[in-house]
Amino acid sequence: MSTKIRIKSLNGWFGEKQVLKDINLDIEENSITAIIGPSGCGKTTLIRCINRMHEVTPGARVEGSVLLDEQDIYKEDPVKVRERIGMVFQRPNPFPTMSVLENAVAGLKLKGIRNRKLLAEKAEEVIKAVGLWDEVKNELNKPGTSLSGGQQQRLCIARALAVEPEVLLMDEPASALDPVSTMRLEDLIYELKKEYTIVIVTHNMQQAARVSDYTAFLYMGELIEYSNTKELFERPKNDLTERYISGRFG
Amino acid sequence: MEKFRIFTAVFALSLTALAMLLLTQLIISSLPVMETFGFRFVIESVWDPVKEVFGALPFIYGTLVTSFIALLIAVPLSIGAAVFLTQYISPKLSYVLSFLIEIIAAIPSVVIGLWGIFVLIPFIREEVGPFLIEYLGFIPVFQGPVYGPSILTGALILTIMIVPIITSMTKDAINTVPILQREGMIALGATRWEVITKVTLPYARPGIIGGVMLGLGRAIGETMAITMVIGNAPEIPASLLAPGDTLASVIANQFSEATSALHESALIELGLILFIITIVINICARLILRREVARG
Amino acid sequence: MGTREKFDKDINEVYRMLGEMRDLAIDSINSSMEALDKLDEDAAKVALRNDVKSYDLMRNIENRCTALLMLQAPVAKDLRKIVTAMKSSGDLNRIIRYAKNISTLAIEMVKEKDEHFKKLIGLKGMKDKSIDMIEKAMKALLEENKNLAMEVYKEEEDVDALYEQIFRELITYMVEDNRKITRGVRYLLAGRYLERVADHACNIAEGAIYITTGERIAPD
């Protein structure tokens, strides 16, 4: 196992407010790393710094570096960075003006691929990869938003996979899903780890415990504890972590 | 509760009644012309109050052509402006610039008309007209002598008047596009331009269409400013650089001096036609919007 | 009552019941050893009754812990406390079961009208030691005291040594006089049971260390 992403002295701001304070974190290749912490602790900002989405927000600012395969992504073209590091959001966000099939390959079209046959093949491949094919193969031309919440979220994952990223960032991907869809999603995430490095932000600690190999606990913008998941949940070293995960906060 | 319901029902019904009354009144008043000319009224292109021959086609043509050209120029301009104001600059600067653009909508149309007479007409006569004739003269609509007051001038005046409306509606529509939609595209490795063309504008389309329809309604009904610059010639000119007239203009111009009952009735029927055109546009807008919403 | 308070209340109740089991265990060992020493059938019956009570307590603890695991998905110390409570209740139940076995030995001897051929000094020593170990282990568990738990580990060696000593001594008796073999084997079995009791006390101590530190430190 080797380090895929190395976050070094990362600081993040929204306007004057510092939301990330000197974060240092190494993320293992082909593993699932969960980021947990109370609302407003900076966990979403942290993963948004990994694919340079943070700076898209007006007034947001980043300092420090994020190395992907030892190359600082902050010294590269953000558009290229985002092709290598895909993202799945809190709520399913398929494009309503595009069909299921168009949604799946929206990223490939951006890359200039126009060959219909190739696009259809790739769409089938990624929709199969997220276990959605049997459910939607007769609805490929319906709008992406006509699917159920869980299906939409898997479509969004398929959409991210189509670009063939190396890393997949997930910002509370199950927060808008019912328990059955959540379980399916977790199974999928677990499967995807074979080929991708996954970083997942979650509010749900049981989810972090279930799917992740490593867990990072963030509090008020600081990285409080980072270790393998079993260790962190069985015997956290930091008292703050202990209190947070056992629900003794506030 | 019940009392209040009756109370509000009275208001609602009285407004509906007012609209129906207006329509009936227009129809009744235009009956003399309808009886005399029948359907020929709308396809006849001679308008001669002295000989009491009335054909509405030049005005229908003028109204539709000026409005159409105005839309042709205003829509890309407004969408471009709205995209710039919402996507490329800080909210503060956007606020200031938007305010300035919206101020145009607040200028009384007679003032815009005056500006048209003193600035736009000379500009068309001396710069735009000769330029178009020289470089685009091979197209029939850009031929002939340049007068200054013309269909094109009218269209440009209308453009100025509807750009603020369409811009502000488009801006609102763009602002309703969920951040998550745009970020979804950015995260796939889209450039800012790709995000605008592939997500923002398609998503905002129903709202933009609404804005365009509103602008079109305004353009068709606009009276004062366009009357001052269009030249008021009751004919269908071959060239856009020649004077023409619109439904609204001719009513405003001739109503006070209409001496015969038939002339007056003809003008009222023009009003009826204008009314019908706007209603048709409104219905179309609603149908398009409904289809768009059903799609999204 | 908030979720958190309810959780704390439930887990405190579980640990109160563990305390009850400890009292039963000590009572059982004391009375069963008294039954063996004095060949007193009434004293022997105390351990038999305690065994029934202990089993109910253990099931009760298990049910509560299962419910807590299911409903609260505890982590960190909460999780360690629940896991340990389940295991320790098993250990205490085993201890009480061994005391019952000693009582059974006593009852058999009474039935067969046996008399002691020696004073049970060694066994009493083992009994005192193992009761002390249970007390310390349970104190360590309830007060989350790692050092106290480590002491229990050391005492186990003493118990083992005592057992070794009794074993050799009894072998000598039995080799000398084969009429002593039946009684000798019973003494040996009693020693063996007490040695097991001490072993379970060590398990409890291990749980105490796990709760306190999250580490599993086995006695060597």
* pLDDT of amino acid C133: 97
In degrees, rounded to 5, the angle at the alpha carbon of residue B235 between the alpha carbons of residues B232 and B240 is 80
Burial letters for C78-115: b for 16+ Cβ neighbours within 10 Å, e otherwise?
bbbbbbbbbbbbbbbbbbbbbbbbbbbbbbebbeeeee
By C-alpha distance, the chain A residue nearest C72 is A246
* Separation in Å, CA of A230 to nearest CA in chain C: 10
Number of H helices, E strands in chain B: 14, 2
CA distance B180 to C97: 64
Is the distance from CB of A229 to CB of A64 less than 8 angstroms?
Answer: no
Contacts of A247 in chain C (CB under 8 A): 3-4, 7
Contact C76 A242 (CB under 8 A): yes
CA distance B238 to B142: 9
pLDDT above 90: percentage of residues in chain C: 89
C-alpha A63 chain-centroid distance: 21
CA distance A235 to C211: 9
CATH number of B58-295: 1.10.3720.10
Strands A214-219 and A222-228, sheet pairing: antiparallel
* pLDDT of amino acid B2: 81
Q: Name chain C's partners: 3 or more CB pairs within 8 A.
A: A
CA distance B103 to B285: 26
Per-residue pLDDT tens digits for B174-198: 999 999 999 999 999 999 999 999 9
- Mark whether B and A touch (3+ CB pairs within 8 Å): yes
Per-residue pLDDT tens digits for A188-212: 999 999 999 999 999 888 899 999 9
Contact C78 A241 (CB under 8 A): no
The pLDDT of residue B259 is above 90: no
Between helices B247-254 and B57-83, what is the axis angle to 10°? 120
Biggest CA–CA distance in chain C, Å, is 69
By C-alpha distance, the chain B residue nearest A50 is B187
Contacts of A156 in chain B (CB under 8 A): 184
* pLDDT of amino acid A155: 95
Is the distance from CB of A87 to CB of A241 less than 8 angstroms?
Answer: no
* Separation in Å, CA of B193 to nearest CA in chain A: 11
CB-CB: which of A242, A245, A247 is closest to C3?
A247
In degrees, rounded to 5, the angle at the alpha carbon of residue B33 between the alpha carbons of residues B31 and B38 is 95
* Separation in Å, CA of B95 to nearest CA in chain A: 15
CA distance B58 to B70: 18
Strands A222-228 and A60-68, sheet pairing: unpaired
Least confident of A227-236, B30-39, C90-99: B30-39
CA distance A77 to A87: 17
CATH number of C3-213: 1.20.58.220
Contacts of C7 in chain A (CB under 8 A): 247
Identify the band that residue A181 occupies on the pLDDT scale cut at 50, 70 and 90. Answer: confident
* Separation in Å, CA of A138 to nearest CA in chain C: 40
Strands in chain A per DSSP E? 3-14, 17-28, 32-36, 60-68, 71-72, 85-88, 167-171, 197-201, 214-219, 222-228
Interface of A with B (CB under 8 A): 51, 53, 56, 58, 79-80, 82-83, 86-87, 89-91, 93-97, 106-107, 110-111, 143, 145, 156, 159-160, 163
DSSP code for A87: E
- Chain C contact for A247, CB < 8 A? yes
The structure tokens listed for B279 are 């209603």
Contact A235 C214 (CB under 8 A): yes
Per-residue pLDDT tens digits for A88-111: 999 999 999 999 999 999 999 998
C-alpha B125 chain-centroid distance: 23
Find residues 176-235 of chain A whose CB sits inside 8 Å of chain C: 205-206, 209, 233-235
C-alpha B183 chain-centroid distance: 36
Contacts of A245 in chain C (CB under 8 A): 75-76
CA distance B158 to B171: 20
Contacts of A209 in chain C (CB under 8 A): 75
Q: CA torsion sign, B114 to B118 to B122 to B124?
A: negative
Is the distance from CB of C118 to CB of C69 less than 8 angstroms?
Answer: no
Per-residue pLDDT tens digits for A108-120: 999 889 999 999 9
Per-residue pLDDT tens digits for B70-109: 999 999 999 999 999 998 898 899 999 999 999 998 999 9
Contact A82 B186 (CB under 8 A): yes
DSSP code for B231: B
Contact C76 A233 (CB under 8 A): yes
* pLDDT of amino acid B282: 86
Contact A80 B180 (CB under 8 A): no
The structure tokens listed for B12 are 């609602």
* pLDDT of amino acid A125: 93
Is the distance from CB of C202 to CB of C219 less than 8 angstroms?
Answer: yes
What rounded mean pLDDT belongs to chain C?
Answer: 95
Q: How many CB atoms lie within 10 A of CB A6?
A: 16
* pLDDT of amino acid C3: 81
* pLDDT of amino acid A250: 56
Secondary structure of chain C as H, E, C letters = CCHHHHHHHHHHHHHHHHHHHHHHHHHHHHHHHHHHHHCCHHHHHHHHHHHHHHHHHHHHHHHHHHHHHHHHCCCHHHHHHHHHHHHHHHHHHHHHHHHHHHHHHHHHHHHCCCCCCCCCHHHHHHHHHHHHHHHHHHHHHHHCCHHHHHHHHHHHHHHHHHHHHHHHHHHHHHHHCHHHHHHHHHHHHHHHHHHHHHHHHHHHHHHHHHHHHCCCCCCC
Q: Which of C76, C85, A157 is nearest to B187 (CA)?
A: A157
Contacts of C3 in chain A (CB under 8 A): 247
Q: Please state the domain extents for chain B.
A: 58-295
* pLDDT of amino acid C1: 65
CA distance B81 to B4: 45
Contact C73 A236 (CB under 8 A): no
Per-residue pLDDT tens digits for A32-79: 999 999 988 999 999 999 999 999 888 899 999 999 999 999 999 999
**Strands of the A3-14 sheet, one edge to the other:** A17-28, A3-14, A60-68, A71-72
Contact A93 B181 (CB under 8 A): yes
CA distance C184 to C169: 10
Is the distance from CB of C133 to CB of C156 less than 8 angstroms?
Answer: yes
Strands A167-171 and A197-201, sheet pairing: parallel
For residue A42, the SS3 value is coil
The structure tokens listed for C197 are 């009791």
Q: How many CB atoms lie within 10 A of CB B188?
A: 27
- Chain C contact for A239, CB < 8 A? no
Contacts of B185 in chain A (CB under 8 A): 95, 106, 110
Q: Which of B129, B187, B156, B196 is nearest to B67 (CA)?
A: B156
Contacts of B85 in chain A (CB under 8 A): none
- Chain C contact for A246, CB < 8 A? yes
CA distance C134 to A116: 76
CA-to-CA separations, B212 to B68, B73, B158, B207, in angstroms, rounded: 11, 12, 13, 9
The structure tokens listed for C4 are 């958190």
Strands A17-28 and A3-14, sheet pairing: antiparallel
In degrees, rounded to 5, the angle at the alpha carbon of residue A177 between the alpha carbons of residues A235 and B189 is 90
CA distance A56 to A45: 11
Between helices B151-175 and B201-221, what is the axis angle to 10°? 140
* Separation in Å, CA of A52 to nearest CA in chain B: 9
Identify the band that residue B293 occupies on the pLDDT scale cut at 50, 70 and 90. Answer: low
The pLDDT of residue A221 is above 60: yes
Residue linked to tokens 């509560």: C64
What does the DSSP assignment read for B233-293?
A: --S--SSTTS-B--HHHHHHHHGGG--SHHHHHHHHHHHHHHHHHHHHHHHHHHHHHHHHH
CB-CB: which of A209, A234, A248 is closest to C214?
A234
* Separation in Å, CA of A86 to nearest CA in chain B: 6
Q: How many CB atoms lie within 10 A of CB A128?
A: 13
What rounded mean pLDDT belongs to chain B?
Answer: 91
Contact B187 A83 (CB under 8 A): no
Contacts of B296 in chain A (CB under 8 A): 96-97, 143, 145
CA distance B57 to A60: 59
Mean pLDDT of A221-233: 95
* pLDDT of amino acid B295: 55
Phi, psi of B74 (to 5 degrees): -70, -35
* pLDDT of amino acid B1: 66
Per-residue pLDDT tens digits for B102-132: 999 899 999 999 999 999 999 999 999 999 9
Strands A85-88 and B53-54, sheet pairing: unpaired
Which value does ipTM take for this structure?
0.91
Per-residue pLDDT tens digits for C16-75: 999 999 999 999 999 999 999 999 999 999 999 999 999 999 999 999 999 999 988 899
Interface of C with A (CB under 8 A): 3-4, 7, 73-80, 213-215
Contact C213 A236 (CB under 8 A): no
In degrees, rounded to 5, the angle at the alpha carbon of residue A134 between the alpha carbons of residues A101 and A160 is 45
The structure tokens listed for B102 are 């919206």
